[in-house]
Amino acid sequence: TTTKAGLARFRPHTIVLRMWPMSGGVCRAVVRAGAGARAAVSTGSARALHATPTASSQLASGTTTKVGRFYREVTVAPAKDQEGYHVLLDKRKLRTPAKQELVIPSDALAFMVAQEWDAQDTVIDKHGMHLTALCNTAVDMPTVEHRLEHATGLLKFLETDTVCFFEEIPVDLHDMQKEEWAPLVEWFSERHGVAVPTTTTLVNSVPAEALEAAKAHVLGLSDWGATGLDFAIQTAKSFVIGDALMAGKLTPDEAQAVSAVETRFQCKRFGEVEWIHPLERAETKSRFAAAAIFFTLCQE
């Protein structure tokens, strides 16, 4: 049976996603109000727009053409032929860009994806629907060859990891980097039982055993878990920050802060550009929050 009651649990007025540790070391995702953020989405009265074949095909193909809201209701229902849940737009199942049925492994994640669709106004903002995009990626991309290539590709972020490269001057920036990044590098090294060095030069020699440990960690995750980790690493441009976010070592707010140390330092000295820097922070926090929520809920 289709269930809509649960969707109300995840319906905010504006959305900024946060994470915090709870009992047993488990991080759970919640939705908090956050007016003014770029990630905010209105959840006013639903617009009664009719579905058209053109709109449906545009969404399925992943085209960049703007698509108006073509559905009235968003609901969640258990999949009949496999474990998982469907998100339904007027009783039509969501499909991925590769036109596969989107089956989401947990009901909580399905409700969060449903919230993204229910929050759309007259025009669907696909670029802000991070959870939907992550689900599509997890369904469309999981092959053995892709997983190996994917894990190897992520190692490049560890070899050139932001938190391993300290500036020598100005000294204030060096001290700021050391204070915020050194504990993360130490945590990562202890977590994986390897030594990850830092440097003040342009090249960092990461030991082969550290790269192998990181690769093994990625390959040990499910397709869905690896998709969430990838999104966090790509956002941070740092394997260490992405891993710390997924492990609950960092919250999305903290991950955004440590990934933008140089920007924060420059803004402190010269001031920030009105709208540009606040919007960048909001977007980055939104991406980190989506990655953390996705990673946590897809494994429940």
Kindly tell me if the per-residue pLDDT of 56 is higher than 60.
Answer: no
Scanning 51-201, the segments in alpha helix (DSSP H) are 53-61, 107-118, 130-140, 144-159, 171-192
Give me the pLDDT at residue 65, please: 65
pLDDT in tens, 82-136: 899 999 999 999 999 999 999 999 999 999 999 999 999 999 998 899 999 999 9
Give me the pLDDT at residue 61, please: 42
146 confidence band (pLDDT: 50, 70, 90): confident
Helix 261-270 to helix 276-297 angle (10° resolution) is: 160
Exposure on the CB side of residue 154, measured as CA atoms within 13 A: 30
Kindly tell me if the per-residue pLDDT of 38 is higher than 50.
Answer: no
Give me the pLDDT at residue 1, please: 44
pLDDT in tens, 236-258: 999 999 999 999 999 999 999 99
Give me the pLDDT at residue 66, please: 79
Answer left, alpha or beta for residue 184, where phi above 0 means left and psi between -120 and 50 means alpha.
alpha
| 129: Cβ contacts below 8 Å, ≥ 6 apart | 116, 117
Q: Are 223 and 138 in contact (CB under 8 A)?
A: yes
More confident residue, 280 or 57: 280
More confident residue, 60 or 24: 60
What is the C-alpha separation between 212 and 155, in angstroms, rounded? 9
Give me the pLDDT at residue 64, please: 54
Average pLDDT, the chain: 81
Kindly tell me if the per-residue pLDDT of 22 is higher than 90.
Answer: no
Q: Within 10 A of 188 (CB to CB), how many other CB atoms are there? A: 26
Give me the pLDDT at residue 144, please: 60
274 confidence band (pLDDT: 50, 70, 90): confident
Give me the pLDDT at residue 240, please: 98
191 confidence band (pLDDT: 50, 70, 90): very high
Scanning 193-275, the segments in alpha helix (DSSP H) are 208-219, 223-236, 239-246, 252-259, 261-270
C-alpha distance across the termini of the chain, in Å: 21
